[in-house]
Amino acid sequence: MTTVVSSEQVPQQDQPVADAVYRREIKSFVRREGRVTQGQARALETLWPVYGIEFDATRRLDFKQVFGNDNPVWLEIGFGMGKSLAEMALLMPKVNFLGIEVHRPGVGSLLNDIQEQGITNIRIMSHDAVEVLKLMLPELSLARVLLFFPDPWHKTKHHKRRIVQPDFLKLVASRLAGGCVFHAATDWQPYAEWMLEMFAQVPIFENTAGVGQYAVKPDYRPETKFERRGIKLGHGVWDLVFEKPDYECQ
């Protein structure tokens, strides 16, 4: 398999309002590399050329070429070690998954899982997700965007680093097809409340659970080992599922 991008240069007129609005100088992540195991390093060297997509600000991705089919594309931002993403891809072979993660051990781990489990419907990018959305993903090209357990940046002085901000939501909306969904989940209640407040400032989206409400966990979101441990300790998990209304989505 070969990962490709569109051979055409990005036309200047294909710069939606959201692109111009989202000038992002503050990053919502810090690269914490950690230790890359020998197996992960080997995967990064041998499997990245097959399943990885290099960031290129001058080109838009052509998903039909990337995946070799017209199946809907789900984007997961920050897949961690990739276990949940691999599980979803196995359960939904008719969905194409694009995962973005800057943590190299996590990328290597997912690449190993892809090979060991024979997964064919995942591609990976290792770059700032906002820049990928802004510069490489076509408008109206995504069927679902997933953001599971992002860094909550607990301290008030760091709230500006939280990825869920009104301009980010507008950017996501510009890449989602009508009728499609942005699904976020967090185990930090203040961040869940924050996200509700941010969504309230972006009327493009509608809360599928009702105004000010949290959604029941969709069956497709895997329950992680960390999450199960937290639930046993009495910790909560909050899912937010917001739809961009327009027309029926696959």
Mark whether 239 and 154 lie in a shared domain: yes
Cβ–Cβ under 8 Å, residues 170 and 21: yes
Confirm whether 114 is domain-assigned: yes
Predicted confidence (pLDDT) at residue 16 exceeds the cutoff of 50 = no
Confirm whether 99 is domain-assigned: yes
Last residue of a domain, one of 88, 115, 138: 138
Structural domain range at position 69: 34-138
The amino acid occupying position 243 is E
The kind and range of the H/E element at 183 are strand 176-186
Q: What is the DSSP string of 121-177?
A: SEEEE-S-HHHHHHHTSPTT-EEEEEEES-----SGGGGGG-S--HHHHHHHHHHEE
Gap between the Cα atoms of 169 and 136, Å rounded:
17
Last residue of a domain, one of 138, 172, 199: 138
For residue range 85-99, list pLDDT tens digits in order.
999 999 999 999 999
Predicted confidence (pLDDT) at residue 166 exceeds the cutoff of 80 = yes
Gap between the Cα atoms of 242 and 245, Å rounded:
9
Mark whether 52 and 99 lie in a shared domain: yes
pTM: 0.85
pLDDT bucket at 33, cuts 50 / 70 / 90:
low
pLDDT bucket at 63, cuts 50 / 70 / 90:
very high
Catalytic residues, by residue number, are 151
Mark whether 189 and 226 lie in a shared domain: yes
Confirm whether 2 is domain-assigned: no
| Geometric angle at alpha carbon 206, from 241 and 77, rounded to 5° | 40
Name the average pLDDT for the chain. 87
Gap between the Cα atoms of 176 and 243, Å rounded:
9
Q: Is 207 helix (H, G, I), strand (E, B) or coil?
A: strand
Confirm whether 10 is domain-assigned: no
Q: What mean pLDDT comes out for the span 17-21? A: 42
Number of domains, the chain? 2
| Geometric angle at alpha carbon 146, from 168 and 246, rounded to 5° | 70
- Give me the CATH number covering residue 40: 3.40.50.150
Mark whether 144 and 202 lie in a shared domain: yes
What burial class does residue 26 get, using C-beta atoms within 10 Å of its C-beta: 0-12 exposed, 13-18 middle, 19+ buried?
exposed
User: What confidence score (pLDDT) does residue 224 get?
Assistant: 82
CA quadruple 148, 15, 26, 59: dihedral positive or negative? positive
